[in-house]
């Protein structure tokens, strides 16, 4: 019984450390690759760039947001009831690990909350969206 307790404690400590790591690394990558348009507080920019903070579209996309990062997004979209049609080009040269970290950041920053995403979920999702998603 005692061992199970310590084992559980150890496991939760390890997973907590991993989630802090992926979140922090995601924050750095977000600053470098996304912040110009989606802003440091995820609020977007007026009618040009959609918000990520408390955005229904991002929430509904979940892990599929990986496809937008890797393959871009074009065409009309609706985010929190507001229409956007600027188009986003693919963000080049990001590894699956980096995309995972960015996802874990944007899904948990600015009041957003989502269970942390694993690398294999991202790799699997990206294999299924090799063409642009809409």
Contact region with ligand HEC (CB under 6 A), list: 12-20, 72-80, 112-120, 122-130? 72-80
What is the rounded end-to-end Cα distance, in angstroms, of the chain?
Answer: 51
**27 near ligand HEC (CB under 6 A):** no
Structure tokens of 15? 């997973």
Q: Which of 15, 20, 40, 86 binds ligand HEC (CB under 6 A)?
A: 86
**26 near ligand HEC (CB under 6 A):** no
Shortest CA distance to 122 belongs to which of 51, 67, 56, 52?
67
**Residue 32 to residue 11: CA distance in whole angstroms:** 32
Q: Which of 70, 71, 84, 109 binds ligand HEC (CB under 6 A)?
A: 84
**129 near ligand HEC (CB under 6 A):** no
- Residues comprising the chain, all counted: 134
């Amino acid at each position: 019984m005692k061992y199970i307790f310590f084992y559980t404690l150890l496991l939760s400590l390890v997973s907590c450390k991993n989630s802090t790591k992926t979140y922090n690394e995601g924050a750095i990558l977000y600053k470098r690759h996304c912040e110009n348009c989606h802003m440091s507080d995820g609020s977007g920019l007026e009618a040009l760039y959609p918000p990520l903070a408390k955005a229904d579209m991002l929430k509904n996309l979940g892990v599929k947001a990986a496809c937008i990062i890797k393959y871009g997004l074009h065409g009309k979209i609706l985010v929190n009831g507001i229409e956007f049609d600027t188009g986003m080009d693919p963000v080049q040269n990001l590894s699956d690990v980096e995309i995972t970290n960015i996802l874990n950041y944007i899904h948990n920053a600015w009041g957003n909350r989502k269970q942390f995403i694993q690398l294999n979920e991202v790799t699997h999702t990206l294999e299924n969206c090799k063409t642009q998603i809409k």
